Amino acid sequence: MFKYLFAKNEDIPAGSAAVFFGFSSIVWFVVGTAIGSFNAAKLAFPDFVMGSEILSFGHMRQVHVLAVILGWISMAFAMAMMYITPALGNTKLWSEKLGVWNCFLWNVGLSLGLFLLWLGVTSGREYSDLPWPIDIVVIVGVLVPLGINVWMTIKTRRVQGIYTTNWFFGAATFMVIIVFSVGNAPEFFQLTGLTEAYLTWWFAHNVLGLWITPVAAAIAYYVVPKVTGNPLYSHRIGHLHFWSVVVFYSTPAAHHLMSAPLPEWLKSFASVEGVLILVPAIAFVSNLLLTMTGKWRMFVENIEIKFTITGVMMAIPLNMQGGFQQTRAINWYVHGTGWMVAHAHLALLGFSTFLEAAAVYYGLQTLLRRKLYSLGLANFHFWMLLIGFTTYWVAMTIAGLIQGAGKIYEVPYIDVVIAEHPYMIARWVGGTMVFLGNCVWLYNMWMTARAGTVIPAGRLPHELAYER
Amino acid sequence: MAFREYKVGARMFGLAFGSSMFITLYMPAVDIAGVSATTSALERQLAFGRVGGFSYEDPFLRGHGKPVTVDIVEDPKTGAAIEPTRAYVYPAEVPFPSGVRHPRILGELPSELSVSKGRMTDADEAQGAVFVVRETTRGGISVPYIENATATRGWTPAATLAKADDKNQAFIGKGKIMFVREGCWWCHTLLPEQTQDWQYFGAPPMLGDFNGESPTAFGSDRKAPDLTHVGSRNSSREWMILHFFNPRLVQPHSIMPRYDYMWGDVDADGKPIDYDAWRAAYNEYEAGKTIYPPEVPMPAADSEARALIDFVLNLK
């Protein structure tokens, strides 16, 4: 990678940036889930690794969260953008060199930011924990170069229209820059009080709603038609999805603070807009599942489709929860409980991770021109993720309902802690399965790059049979 | 130029996204900016200092550049007896909180009174200052404001600190830094919810309770009791010391981590703390081999544990 940083743009092989991003994302996924498993062990067994400030739960929790969001998920997005955007425009990435630099700065900036967070250098704001100098690195070194590359690649495309996936990519890279800049304004400009509290959750909401969810969906819009060979069921429904994300998903930020003393009109508005999340959700899920018509066999036989469609189907419970848990009628019961932790993992480890994993599996095979090393290991990875995640989600949902009941019946808090203990152990077991699965994935992808069957020119990876 | 549908799309996108940002950013900002600070908001920011997270004065969150809160019963200038008063001492070079730097954010009446009556803007960071929260009535309503006692009464930071012994000094600002750095708020929320919840954890905060404070650190994932009013529920410093050193000394089923490392190297008497010996003795106790747990060392006055306990006990 380093030799390409100072090479001429023409001398860098096409796809290099995407390959670097792909492997970086997998490494960050392994790191992020390792820390997640470590943290979960501490919640089950509080004296597990003690006496050290930097290894305490309060220092490690935010490192886990940001390693998976900015490392795994966002780098997998960058990887997807850097091969899908040119592929859909029948062109090359606008600047391969910018892409390589982007990947380099991203890894350096994120490592530095997480190291500082680990030491306790934090802004004290959930999801925007990074201190503001690192926020500037993220905006200038990570988000803006990515955006420029995506927009310019779309602009220099050699086809007339712009496919659904690229609307999402182009719009999301723009929106995430706005979200990151405005969301960190409390640190840049020393904003205080409820403005700070509200902007913290405005950021947290919109980084999910305008970055993670639409980009993950955009990946599915590419992978399913590409691998199955079916055209997208309906571009009009795709339009409905896109516009309803922009209009409905960008507005309900205040529903994260339903019990805080924010202006009541803001909370009511956010709550109503929050239910409308079902519009893009239903448009997305129905469009993708109908695209599968006649090809459902591939859900079983093809690893990329298996991951993608599992992720798409997880969008159903995700948005059913998301739409309704934030209404006043339900929020008072589940707010601040493990239910929310389960929901957040359903969004990031369920829905979005499965879609990104498909993009990384498919993209790395395409770019390296190598067939996946082992289908068996890929299936093992899939089931470790799915069973591990499900264990986690079920355990945390039950724990959340216990906490909710404890909250309204005014049970002494320690009794809630005692009741939750078995679910904390289950959470740790589930999270550890995800981590172990990812280690296998990293090995499988590394071996694919070194020893995978070479894909002949003009063929697609999924057209070849596995040799192992 | 031929019709291009993406040009229509780009404009529609700008309109849709712009409207959304107008409603979710501009309108709430205007609404929140019109809220006047309550007494609680003034007390909080004066006790916490400028920022509760990463800042120029304290990049590694060690608690540098924070004010000291003192309770005094004598006038620091004249020595005369006064009503028990809580004063916020800002030694020279300690940055003032946002409300003092930018009176506008305190809201219309509190900022006007703080400037005219409290002479708040006469304070100079290079010299240091002592602040007090006062209340007065305007049109039949009680309005809080900040008084710069250095200007109005001639209380200097050094003289004011000298009037309070160790028991009457609280390192609340440093403690808030510890609360943020150690991630206490990942499990303990600072926001009783506006539902049944507040019968157990106390009244939820009001709209104007946070003007000038950053970060608010409400927390979102409550794995442990809410702490907004914990100082009113449990005011025992001894209990807090045991609980922070090893929560399972006072609550066998607690899953809170041990914060013994915040004691540092020496205890209040300057004796080195032998953590390995303490843990070994505790393990004996836990295994039922001894009847009493080992003695918990008292935290030193400049230790992080002391500041954190001061912060928690003052959450009322």
Residue A255 to chain B, least CA–CA distance (Å): 11
**Chain segment B146-181, per-residue pLDDT in tens:** 999 999 999 999 999 999 999 999 999 999 999 999
What does the H/E/C string look like for chain A? Answer: CHHHHCCCHHHCCCCHHHHHHHHHHHHHHHHHHHHHHHHHHHHHCCCCCCCCCCCCHHHHHHHHHHHHHHHHHHHHHHHHHHHHHHHHCCCCCCCHHHHHHHHHHHHHHHHHHHHHHHHCCCCCCCCCCCCHHHHHHHHHHHHHHHHHHHHHHHHCCCCCCCCHHHHHHHHHHHHHHHHHHHHCHHHHCCCCHHHHHHHHHHHHHHHHHHHHHHHHHHHHHHHHHHHHCCCCCCHHHHHHHHHHHHHHHCCHHHHHHCCCCCCHHHHHHHHHHHHCCHHHHHHHHHHHHHHCCCCCHHHHHCHHHHHHHHHHHHHHHHHHHHHHHCCHHHHHHHCCCHHHHHHHHHHHHHHHHHHHHHHHHHHHHHHHCECCCCHHHHHHHHHHHHHHHHHHHHHHHHHHHHHHHHHHCCCCHHHHHHHHHHHHHHHHHHHHHHHHHHHHHHHHHHHHHHHCCECCCCCCHHHCCCCC
**Which secondary-structure segment (H or E) carries B118?**
none
SS3 B224: strand
**pLDDT of amino acid A159:** 92
Query: Does residue A278 have a pLDDT over 70?
Result: yes
A145 Cβ contact partners less than 8 Å away, ≥ 6 residues apart: A98, A101, A102, A105
The mean per-residue pLDDT over the stretch B8-22 comes to 93
The helix-helix angle for A235-244 and A213-228 (nearest 10°) equals 170
**Contact residues, chain B, for A269 at CB < 8 Å:** 23
Least confident piece of the model among A285-294, B192-201, B249-258: B192-201
Q: How many Å apart are CA A444 and CA A452, to the nearest integer?
A: 9
pLDDT band at B232 (very low <50, low <70, confident <90, very high): very high
Closest Cβ opposite residue A196 in set B20, B216, B251: B216
User: What rounded mean pLDDT belongs to chain B?
Assistant: 94
Closest Cβ opposite residue A197 in set B16, B199, B210: B210
Closest Cβ opposite residue B59 in set A53, A61, A121: A121
Cβ atoms of B190 and B226 closer than 8 Å: yes
Q: How many Å apart are CA B299 and CA B305, to the nearest integer?
A: 6
Residue A182 to chain B, least CA–CA distance (Å): 9
> A194 to chain B: nearest residue by CA?
B210
Test B218 with A260 for CB contact under 8 angstroms: yes
Give the alpha-carbon dihedral of B296, B302, B308, B313, to 10 degrees: 80
Q: How many Å apart are CA A169 and CA A167, to the nearest integer?
A: 6
**Chain segment A19-48, per-residue pLDDT in tens:** 999 999 999 999 999 999 999 999 999 999
Test B28 with A266 for CB contact under 8 angstroms: yes
Test B213 with A192 for CB contact under 8 angstroms: yes
Q: Which of B61, B255, B261, B286 to mutate to test the interface with A (most CBs of A within 10 A)?
A: B255
Would you call B247 an interface residue with chain A, using a CB distance cutoff of 8 Å? yes
Closest by CA position to A399, among listed A321, A345, A327, A334: A334
Closest by CA position to B311, among listed B236, B231, B233: B231
**Contact residues, chain B, for A53 at CB < 8 Å:** 182, 261-262
**Contact residues, chain A, for B25 at CB < 8 Å:** 182, 202
Would you call A262 an interface residue with chain B, using a CB distance cutoff of 8 Å? yes
Distance of CA B9 to the CA centre of its chain: 48
pLDDT band at B276 (very low <50, low <70, confident <90, very high): very high
The mean per-residue pLDDT over the stretch B228-254 comes to 96
**Which secondary-structure segment (H or E) carries B39?**
helix B39-48
A 24-43: CB under 8 A from B? 42-43
**Chain segment A384-411, per-residue pLDDT in tens:** 999 999 999 999 999 999 999 998 888 8
pLDDT band at A51 (very low <50, low <70, confident <90, very high): confident
**pLDDT of amino acid A141:** 95
**Which secondary-structure segment (H or E) carries B270?**
none
Write out the two tokens for A88.
């859909």
Closest Cβ opposite residue A124 in set B53, B205, B206: B53
The helix-helix angle for A353-368 and A375-408 (nearest 10°) equals 160
Closest by CA position to A177, among listed A129, A208, A139, A206: A139
> A410 to chain B: nearest residue by CA?
B200
Would you call B43 an interface residue with chain A, using a CB distance cutoff of 8 Å? no
A 296-335: CB under 8 A from B? 332, 335
Specify the DSSP class assigned to residue B144: E
> B24 to chain A: nearest residue by CA?
A251
**pLDDT of amino acid A250:** 94
Residue scoring higher pLDDT (B312 or B204): B312
Cβ atoms of A205 and A183 closer than 8 Å: no
**Contact residues, chain A, for B206 at CB < 8 Å:** 261
A39 Cβ contact partners less than 8 Å away, ≥ 6 residues apart: A57, A60, A61, A64
**pLDDT of amino acid A3:** 85
**Contact residues, chain B, for A46 at CB < 8 Å:** 247-248, 254-258
Test B24 with A253 for CB contact under 8 angstroms: yes
pLDDT band at A465 (very low <50, low <70, confident <90, very high): confident
Cβ atoms of A292 and A270 closer than 8 Å: no
Q: Which of A48, A176, A194 to mutate to test the interface with B (most CBs of B within 10 A)?
A: A194
Test B275 with A256 for CB contact under 8 angstroms: no
The helix-helix angle for A96-119 and A74-88 (nearest 10°) equals 170
Would you call A154 an interface residue with chain B, using a CB distance cutoff of 8 Å? no
ipTM of the complex: 0.95
Long-range Cβ contacts of A154-163 (<8 Å, 24+ apart): A154/A85, A154/A89, A155/A94, A156/A89, A156/A91, A156/A94, A157/A88, A157/A89, A157/A90, A157/A91, A158/A89, A158/A90, A158/A91, A159/A88, A159/A89, A159/A90, A162/B6, A163/A88, A163/A221, A163/A222
Query: Does residue B1 have a pLDDT over 70?
Result: no
Would you call A264 an interface residue with chain B, using a CB distance cutoff of 8 Å? no
Cβ atoms of A287 and A233 closer than 8 Å: yes
**Contact residues, chain B, for A120 at CB < 8 Å:** 60-61, 181-182
**Percentage above 90 pLDDT, chain A:** 92
Closest by CA position to B60, among listed A321, A26, A132, A119: A119
Test B195 with A259 for CB contact under 8 angstroms: yes
Would you call B157 an interface residue with chain A, using a CB distance cutoff of 8 Å? no
Would you call A200 an interface residue with chain B, using a CB distance cutoff of 8 Å? yes
Closest by CA position to B218, among listed B187, B243, B194: B187
Test B210 with A192 for CB contact under 8 angstroms: yes
**Contact residues, chain B, for A50 at CB < 8 Å:** 257-258, 260
Domains of chain A: 10-450 (1.20.210.10)
Q: How many Å apart are CA A81 and CA A148, to the nearest integer?
A: 12
Cis before B110 (ω within 30): no
Distance of CA B267 to the CA centre of its chain: 24
Query: Does residue B58 have a pLDDT over 90?
Result: yes
**pLDDT of amino acid A192:** 95
B179-313 CATH: 1.10.760.10
Least confident piece of the model among B63-67, B140-144, B201-205: B201-205
**Which secondary-structure segment (H or E) carries B46?**
helix B39-48
Q: Which residue(s) pair with B266 in the sheet?
A: B272
Total length of chain A: 468
**pLDDT of amino acid B2:** 60
> A340 to chain B: nearest residue by CA?
B221
Closest Cβ opposite residue B23 in set A59, A251, A335: A251
Closest by CA position to A226, among listed A348, A93, A366, A96: A366
Q: Which residue(s) pair with B134 in the sheet?
A: B145
**pLDDT of amino acid B3:** 62
Would you call B9 an interface residue with chain A, using a CB distance cutoff of 8 Å? yes
- What b/e string do you get for B214-223 counting C-beta neighbours within 10 Å, with b at 16 or more? bbbbbbbbbb
Strands B129-138 and B81-90: antiparallel
A411: left (phi over 0), alpha (psi -120 to 50) or beta: beta
Closest by CA position to B247, among listed B260, B233, B229: B260
Write out the two tokens for A303.
């690893």
Test B257 with A56 for CB contact under 8 angstroms: yes
Residue B261 to chain A, least CA–CA distance (Å): 6
**Contact residues, chain B, for A427 at CB < 8 Å:** none
Q: Sign of the C-alpha dihedral, residues A289, A295, A297, A303?
A: negative
Query: Does residue B209 have a pLDDT over 60?
Result: yes
Residue A447 to chain B, least CA–CA distance (Å): 39
Q: Which of B223, B227, B245 to mutate to test the interface with A (most CBs of A within 10 A)?
A: B223
Cβ atoms of A270 and A255 closer than 8 Å: yes
Closest Cβ opposite residue B257 in set A46, A119, A198: A46
Cβ atoms of A224 and A305 closer than 8 Å: yes
Test B211 with A410 for CB contact under 8 angstroms: no
**Chain segment A124-181, per-residue pLDDT in tens:** 999 999 999 999 999 999 999 999 999 999 999 999 889 999 999 999 999 999 999 9
Residue B29 to chain A, least CA–CA distance (Å): 7
Cβ atoms of A377 and A444 closer than 8 Å: yes
> A254 to chain B: nearest residue by CA?
B24
Specify the DSSP class assigned to residue B202: -
Would you call B312 an interface residue with chain A, using a CB distance cutoff of 8 Å? no
**Contact residues, chain B, for A182 at CB < 8 Å:** 21, 25
B 60-119: CB under 8 A from A? 60-61, 98-99, 105
Test B210 with A193 for CB contact under 8 angstroms: yes
What does the H/E/C string look like for B71-102? Answer: EEEECCCCCCEEEEEEEEEECCCCCCCHHHHC
**Contact residues, chain B, for A193 at CB < 8 Å:** 32, 41, 105, 210-214, 216
**Which secondary-structure segment (H or E) carries B63?**
none
